[in-house]
Amino acid sequence: MIEKQTPTDTTGLKKAEGLSSLSHLTLLSDMASGAAHKINNPNQVILSNALLLTRMWLDISPILAGYYRENGDFSVGGLSYEQNTGTIKKLLDNITEGAYRINGIVENMRDLSGSEGTDKDGPVDINAVVGSVLAFLGKDIPGHTHNLICKYGGSVPPVKGNALDIKQALINILRNALQALPDKQCGVIVSTFEDREAGAAVIEIADEGKGIPEYLLQRVFEPFFTTRIEGGGLGLSLARKIVSDHKGSIDIRSNPGVGTSVIVRIPAIRIEDRSPA
């Protein structure tokens, strides 16, 4: 007699597997959030001190230069003043850039955890967002250029909005700039600064690409418009929408054969509306 076998019920097993996957994701999210918090605190100390030391050096360096002219060479940190000329500022710039890049990594970890970045009305540190963009595109950049320079403004005010949305807009703009370069010797300069007259934080992304003819400049924000053979997407169109949602503006200046600059302005949070933090 052949016994009829009852099909195995795998519903419970699938549920258990689903719960296990969910718990792993939750654990990963918690770990990412905790690590981001622990890294961010000491990094903010490094960043604030680096910015303060940079401002101090800008005040001190003319005094040292005057002393050098009157009294000749002298030692600074075991090196002669001549050897130190320009070096100290570069070292401080490197520390500042490194701290902003760590900020970018922290933001990516927070994105993974889902713990931050969803606030549509929160204060947004533009320099931190730029650092996050560079960290996100870090592996792609060497494939387009060996000359990417980032110049962080030391007094860029916070803006009101969503960090993830602004990050996406800047990623789209920077990708466009990288793809416009004819070879890896051509460069891209990313700059942040404050436009006090307009009351805005400014991000400028300038490339040494082929440039855009004037008659095409009005079309660059059209969806899927591109001057590249392989076709385009929603890059600049989406970027303009995001910036517009933040009550900002995007201006494009281009010289064929020289390059293109994309200038993003986002209104800064008024000083009286900023939190003490």
> What secondary structure does DSSP assign to 165-207, as a single string?
HHHHHHHHHHHHHHHT-SSTTSEEEEEEEEETTTTEEEEEEEE
Has residue 151 got a pLDDT over 60?
yes
Share of the chain above pLDDT 70, in %: 76
> The pTM is what?
0.59
Averaged confidence pLDDT in the chain: 79
The Cα–Cα gap between 108 and 129 comes to 10
The Cα–Cα gap between 185 and 113 comes to 37
* pLDDT tens per residue across span 159-194: 999 888 899 899 989 998 998 899 999 999 999 999
User: What b/e sequence results for 224-255 when a residue is b if at least 16 CB atoms lie within 10 Å of its CB, and e otherwise?
Assistant: ebbeeeeebeebbbbbbebbeebebebebebe
Q: Supply the DSSP symbol for 142.
A: G
Q: Tell me the one-letter amino acid at 261.
A: S
* Across 124-128, average pLDDT: 92
Q: Give the β-pairing of 259-267 and 200-207.
A: antiparallel
Angle at which helix 11-71 crosses helix 87-113, to 10 degrees, equals 170
Look at 269 and 104; give whichever has higher pLDDT.
269
Where is average pLDDT lowest: 11-15, 111-115, 183-187?
11-15
Banded model confidence at residue 119, pLDDT cuts 50, 70, 90: low
- Range list of H helices, 72-192: 81-84, 87-113, 126-136, 163-179
Q: Residue 227: its pLDDT value, please?
A: 58
> What secondary structure does DSSP assign to 207-221, as a single string?
E-S----HHHHTTTT
Banded model confidence at residue 140, pLDDT cuts 50, 70, 90: confident
Nearest to 176 by CA among 92, 255, 235, 100: 235
Has residue 6 got a pLDDT over 50?
no
Q: Residue 8: its pLDDT value, please?
A: 46
Highest average pLDDT, of 101-110, 212-221, 236-245, comes from: 236-245
Has residue 272 got a pLDDT over 80?
no
